[in-house]
Structure 1
Amino acid sequence: MSDASRDPAGGRALAVLVFGAAVIGLAPILVRLSDAGPAAIGFWRVGFALPLLGLLALKSDGGVGPPNRFALAAGLAFACDLGFWHYSIHFTSVANATVLTNLTPVVVTATAWIFLKQRPAKLFVAAVALAVAGAWMMAVGRGAHAAGANPPLGDALALTTAFWYALYFLAISAARRSTGATRVMFWSSLASAPALLVAALALGEPIFPSGPGGWAALVGLGVMHVAGQGSIAWALGRLPPATASVVVLIQPVVAAILGWLLFAEALGPIQALGGAMALAGVVLAQAASRKSRPAG
């Protein structure tokens, strides 16, 4: 994940970003298979990832280096993101929790426009609208038949997660201007771990899984964190955050398909159409970003 060379066309960065988003689509499945508390699962996810991230930083950057303030801020945002999201997965369907969380492009695009002066092209705004509309259709397509113990609460938690995920995206993007991807991931994960553990203890959650299957799922989450979020962090050093936030809408499509295959959370025609619209929005966003690269 070295930053020795830049990718002006963004082709390689886009491919890595798509890969990372697809890998992260496995996360809600592994969360469902883990039998610890929601915040505790987040703690184990980043905890198992830290040794791997340290080794990668040593290999690519010569070590973890000093902490980056934006990476630390990203870690705190990510702790909130995981905590809210994991609770949403417990209360609503995998598809709903993942799709509503990934309404992040609205927040990221608006913030990048207002504060970072990254004015989006009209075609890009249209692509965001199409992708978000598709994501929303996937979430509401179940109607009264939504899976989960308390779908309205789970959906509300997932919507809140979108705000934290947007802050995470913007902080990672800022950190990547001066720091390598593995270092950023190490320090952000290190900042996330104690916050998640404190939250799990304060909420009285079970910290340890009860069986080997739960431990296997937690280790899988750690590996997925390194491969998925690491790829996204690397790509954020080469792509505008608004563009990247739209591309990761591939994640809920992957999660919805896996939820259908593994948990019998069937996709109705409205959800299928929504998934197609979300993917079309991603493709359109990339076409728009190639025609007019945002300044800065």
Structure 2
Amino acid sequence: MSDATPRWRAIAALLFGACVIGVSPILFRLADTGPAAAAFWRLFFAVPLLLAMTWRTEGGPGRPTGLGAIAGVMFAGDLIFWHYGIQLTTVAKATVLSNLTPVVVTLFAWIFLRERPRLQFLAAVALAVGGAWTMALAKGSGAAGINEPLGDLLSAATAFWYALYMLAIGAGRRTTSAGRLMVWSSIVGAPIMLVAALMLGEQILPLSLGGWAACVGLGLTHVFGQGAIAWALGRLPTSTASVVVLVQPIVAGLLGWLLFAEALGPLQGLGAAIALSGVVLAQWATRPRAQPSTPNT
């Protein structure tokens, strides 16, 4: 890992990864399997490509790492809790609660990683999360969830799981490449999701060629989306990265509008603009401080 990588490249990789991951809800809708089963296929199809990439660039995946395994467990929890949370409560409430991730990451990074945020960054977190919440709250149209209290709890836990995943990847990137972390986190996470799908009695195999194509697409979004995010986490503070990935629900909303005619209302557009403003402010607030020049003596 090179510390000489320009900051703009890390930001660009992070934005690219968030945009790619924003496609995954569309593919999940097209995959005719159970929620945990779709998450399993996502990692199942990602692992061979990740292995091929690490063999080509690094001579292999190396030995399993503890942080890679932890990241795999956390990511499995993230996908399973979110998929089932969104089934039990309303889509809007599930989206709102899962967008607590930047708050959780910022608190953990501040307390445990000593990444002390500036006041401007805390304001950016509030702005970005508020915008994402506004966009999510504007989606719903009155339908009640099957079991809203349980769904709300699972959705809130989603933010916690993904925050721990990002923190594990961020810590692991200090000593391990993004490719190797992605390999081992995916190898660990896949069987957890398969066991969960079997225990919950889900439909495991896609029922159509389109469903299989969507599952393969989920694998590609994992490799290139989460892979880009993992790479950027080696070059940016974890708290900063957690705010930038709020671009993800905005991308998903725009794709839903384009592909499924799910029109974006004025309040949703306002929320997207506010969230993007928070992302921009977060980058400004975390820019490297200028070093004072010392006069020649």
TM value normalised by structure 2: 0.91
Q: 1:179 aligns with which of 176, 185, 188?
A: 176
Q: 1:164 aligns with which of 130, 154, 161?
A: 161
Aligned mates of 2:91, 2:23 — CA distance in 1:
10
What's the CA shift for 1:270?
Answer: 1.7
Paired residues, what number? 289
Letter in 1 for 2:158: T
What's the CA shift for 1:101?
Answer: 2.4
What's the CA shift for 1:182?
Answer: 0.5
SS at match of 1:210: coil
Per the alignment, residue 277 of structure 1 pairs with 274
What's the CA shift for 1:228?
Answer: 0.2
Letter in 2 for 1:128: V
What's the CA shift for 1:59?
Answer: 1.3
Point out the structure with max Rg over C-alpha. 2
Q: Structure 1 residue 217 and structure 2 residue 214: aligned?
A: yes
Q: 1:36 aligns with which of 33, 36, 48?
A: 33
Per the alignment, residue 289 of structure 1 pairs with 286
Alpha-carbon RMSD across the aligned residues, in angstroms, is 2.1
SS at match of 1:171: helix
SS at match of 1:267: coil
Aligned mates of 1:185, 1:148 — CA distance in 2:
37
Matches within 5 A, 1:98-177: 98=95, 100-143=97-140, 145=141, 150=146, 152=148, 156-177=153-174
Aligned mates of 1:93, 1:33 — CA distance in 2:
19
Do 2:95 and 2:133's aligned partners in 1 also have CA atoms closer than 8 Å? Answer: no
Tell me the alpha carbon deviations over residues 78-129 of structure 1, each in whole angstroms, 9 at most, x when there is no partner: 0011112222454567776556423310000011001111110000000000
Identity between Structure 1 and Structure 2 (%) = 62
Letter in 1 for 2:13: V
What's the CA shift for 1:278?
Answer: 0.5
Q: Aligned pair in 2 of structure 1 residues 172, 146: CA closer, same or farther (>3 Å)?
A: farther
Do 2:42 and 2:218's aligned partners in 1 also have CA atoms closer than 8 Å? Answer: yes
Q: Aligned pair in 2 of structure 1 residues 93, 211: CA closer, same or farther (>3 Å)?
A: farther
What's the CA shift for 1:271?
Answer: 1.6
Tell me the alpha carbon deviations over residues 209-243 of structure 1, each in whole angstroms, 9 at most, x when there is no partner: 11101000000000110000000000001011000
Do 2:99 and 2:133's aligned partners in 1 also have CA atoms closer than 8 Å? Answer: no
What's the CA shift for 1:157?
Answer: 3.4
What's the CA shift for 1:11?
Answer: 1.1
SS at match of 1:290: coil
Do 2:92 and 2:138's aligned partners in 1 also have CA atoms closer than 8 Å? Answer: no
Q: 2:201 aligns with which of 199, 204, 207?
A: 204
Matches within 5 A, 1:214-293: 214-292=211-289
Do 2:92 and 2:137's aligned partners in 1 also have CA atoms closer than 8 Å? Answer: no
Letter in 2 for 1:172: I
What's the CA shift for 1:263?
Answer: 2.8
Letter in 2 for 1:6: D
Of the structure 1 ranges 80-89 and 244-253, higher mean CA displacement relative to structure 2 is found in: 80-89
Letter in 2 for 1:258: L
Per the alignment, residue 189 of structure 1 pairs with 186
Aligned mates of 1:131, 1:104 — CA distance in 2:
11
Per the alignment, residue 6 of structure 1 pairs with 3
Unpaired stretches in structure 2, ≥5 consecutive residues = 291-297
Per the alignment, residue 70 of structure 1 pairs with 67
SS at match of 1:105: helix
SS at match of 2:287: helix
